[in-house]
Amino acid sequence: MPYNTNAIPPRKEPTGQTQLPLSRVKKIISQDSDIHTCSNNAAFVITIAAELFLQHLTETANTLSKLERKPRRNIQYKDVANAISHHDNLEFLEDIVPRTVPYKAIKGKANATRALIKSDKTREGQAVAQDVPEANGTGSVIVDGEGSAFTLPARGEERADDPNEQLELEMRQASGARDEDVRMSG
């Protein structure tokens, strides 16, 4: 037998009862470490406010779903995401309910970024190889995802007054550890 998918009409007048379970709302409120106790009246008001917010969000999403080329009766995730992105008073939810992006668009963008990085690395590597000789250890070239390149100074050129570097150097000297790869067996 199919489920009852008829919408529950919103109440026109206050009845003193909530549609959301009050005990669940109290459990959610108790999860907040800043709130030690919450009265029944406060929990009731929070429940009513949550119901009104959900009603507003669903009405907005339903309106947007009816404005589409092919109107639907049911609300989908993309309708809620579109409602959040189109209305300023719901803007605070953009991080929680992001808009959906087709996989094809993400894949194309990733391929374009990879091609850009690959071309920048080869171009920068050729230009920098002439400027910064790495054979004598004077520096290393870093190319970031935005196509800009910068050089890092070699260990000897780093600031001597940096306490973290000094501590790391002293720990290496005290332990007698070398900066080589260690073979792991097992």
Burial status of residue 73 (CB atoms within 10 A of its CB: 0-12, 13-18, 19 or more): exposed
Q: What's the CA angle centered on 180, arms 175 and 181, to 5 degrees?
A: 115
pLDDT of residue 131: 47
Lowest mean pLDDT among 13-17, 37-41, 110-114, 151-155: 151-155
pLDDT of residue 31: 92
Q: What's the CA angle centered on 151, arms 150 and 157, to 5 degrees?
A: 150
Model pLDDT for residues 6-48, shown as the tens digit of each residue: 777 776 776 778 888 999 999 999 999 998 888 999 999 999 9
Residue matched to tokens 């909530």: 18
How far is Cα 14 from Cα 120, in angstroms, rounded to an integer?
Answer: 65
Model pLDDT for residues 116-141, shown as the tens digit of each residue: 888 876 665 555 444 444 444 444 55
> What domains does the chain contain, in order, with CATH numbers?
22-93 (1.10.20.10)
Model pLDDT for residues 61-73, shown as the tens digit of each residue: 999 888 888 888 8
The answer to whether the predicted template modeling score (pTM) of the entire model surpasses 0.95 is no
